[in-house]
């Protein structure tokens, strides 16, 4: 038997007591760190989604009771599965067509019943960059087209678009930077890429390099799932001629949330997040935040998706606030309307000074109208 001296015994007792006392302190610290945390998964660092999550974190975080934790995901399909099954993931920014794709391919039967959406977010444009010898999208028949990694948002949208247009292509799955090098060498015919314009991957490219964007025709079936839009010289000065914008489509995104009613604390955290996000939404439209926030309409309905109950309840209580755009947003919308209208009738872009003067006239006219 080993006998301990008095001093050794006291030391061990003190050490044991310190351990016992430290447990409540550690538990309190853990509770404080985790208080009000919500985790939002988004696509990689080169996309718009992560920037939007960072803006949300800056809006919501208060340093004590609320915190947004960004999580970088890998591919739209994987993020949808993560949202349903991965521990801790409360929300994810998902392309709208990923749920339609999963249902059509019967990948995860019944998954739509466990996912709802808080709001529709921004649109990402479908870019189709091809060699100059390919004149239109039909010229890609049986050619190699890179669609990014399997399960990515680009792969999903490209698959649906080519299937709808009945243009069979040989899809490759290289990272886009690798695919761009292969395109320059003539090893593939085109690159499909879904990204918010202007996409950094394409900004420095020039038509003189033997590449150009292809137009994407919009039929009734495509228009039922996607938004007609265009790539302009303003987006890509070295790739798009001034007077010939490239018609294409855009993919909407949603802020989706998993089923949390059986996890009261997380459900409460997300509900609090919704309240702060929706209440402070107008601040996201100010300079210093990503310009894609200007595309967001909190009240927009998304076909095929159910609205998250706390978000629906907030909208019902505050519908008049949501419907009224701020003066800054209204002026931006007015400016875009003028640009698109004048382009459509073959007129040049109006100067900002003239736009401002015309907008002031519009506001004066608006004030004089009967309520």
pLDDT tens figures, 164-220: 999 999 999 999 999 999 999 999 999 999 999 989 889 888 888 889 999 999 988
Distance CA 160, CA 155 (A): 9
The residue assigned the tokens 């709208």 is 96
pLDDT averaged over every residue in the chain: 86
Please tell me the predicted confidence (pLDDT) of residue 4: 44
Please tell me the predicted confidence (pLDDT) of residue 2: 45
- Give the pLDDT band of residue 324 (cuts 50, 70, 90): low
- pTM here? 0.77
- Alpha carbon 152 to its chain centroid, in Å, reads 13
Tokens representing residue 81 in the block: 């599965």
| Beta bridge mates, 71 | 41
pLDDT at residue 148 tops 80: yes
Q: For the chain, list the strands marked E by DSSP.
A: 37-42, 67-72, 91-95, 115-131, 144-146, 170-172, 190-195, 211-213, 227-231, 246-258
CATH of domain 32-324: 3.40.190.10
Three-state DSSP class for 251?
strand
Distance CA 370, CA 102 (A): 50
Give residue-wise pLDDT tens across range 262-285.
889 999 999 999 999 999 999 999
Bond from prior residue into 198 cis (ω within 30 degrees of 0): yes
* Residue ranges, CATH 3.40.190.10, the chain: 32-324
- Beta carbons within 8 Å of 94's beta carbon, 6+ residues apart: 76, 79, 80, 83, 253, 254, 256
What is the average pLDDT across 18-28?
62
- Alpha carbon 43 to its chain centroid, in Å, reads 8
Give residue-wise pLDDT tens across range 96-120.
999 888 888 888 888 888 899 999 9
- Beta carbons within 8 Å of 341's beta carbon, 6+ residues apart: none
């Amino acid at each position: 038997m080993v006998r301990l001296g008095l001093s050794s015994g006291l030391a061990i007792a003190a050490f044991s007591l310190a351990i016992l006392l430290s447990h409540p302190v550690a538990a309190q610290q853990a509770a404080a760190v985790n208080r009000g945390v919500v985790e939002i998964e988004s696509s990689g660092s080169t996309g718009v989604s992560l920037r939007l999550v960072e803006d949300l974190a800056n809006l919501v975080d208060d340093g004590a009771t609320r915190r947004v934790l960004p999580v970088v995901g890998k591919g739209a399909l994987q993020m949808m599965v993560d949202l349903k099954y991965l521990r801790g993931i409360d929300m994810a920014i998902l392309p709208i067509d990923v749920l339609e794709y999963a249902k059509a391919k019967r990948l995860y039967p019944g998954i739509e019943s466990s996912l709802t959406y808080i709001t529709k977010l921004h649109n990402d444009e479908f870019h189709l960059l091809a060699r100059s010898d390919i004149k239109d999208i039909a010229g890609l028949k049986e050619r190699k087209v890179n669609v990014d990694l399997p399960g990515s948002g680009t792969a999903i949208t490209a698959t649906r678009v080519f299937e709808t247009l009945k243009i069979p292509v040989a899809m490759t799955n290289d990272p886009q930077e690798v695919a761009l090098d292969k395109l320059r060498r003539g090893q593939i015919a085109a690159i499909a890429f879904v990204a918010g314009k202007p996409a950094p991957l394409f900004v420095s490219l020039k038509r003189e390099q033997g590449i150009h964007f292809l137009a994407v025709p919009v039929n009734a079936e495509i228009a039922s799932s996607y938004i007609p839009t265009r790539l302009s010289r303003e987006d890509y000065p070295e790739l798009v001629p001034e007077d010939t914008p490239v018609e294409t489509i855009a993919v909407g995104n949603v802020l989706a949330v998993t089923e949390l009613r059986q996890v009261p604390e997380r459900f409460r955290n997300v509900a609090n997040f919704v309240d702060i996000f929706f209440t402070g939404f107008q601040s996201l439209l100010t300079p210093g935040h990503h310009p894609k926030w200007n595309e967001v309409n909190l009240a927009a309905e998304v076909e095929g998706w159910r609205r998250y109950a706390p978000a629906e309840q907030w909208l019902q209580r505050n519908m008049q606030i949501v419907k009224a755009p701020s003066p800054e947003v209204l002026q931006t919308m007015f400016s875009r309307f003028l640009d698109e209208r004048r382009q459509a009738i073959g007129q040049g872009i109006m100067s900002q000074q003239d736009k401002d003067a015309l907008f002031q006239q519009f506001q004066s006219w608006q004030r004089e109208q009967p309520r």
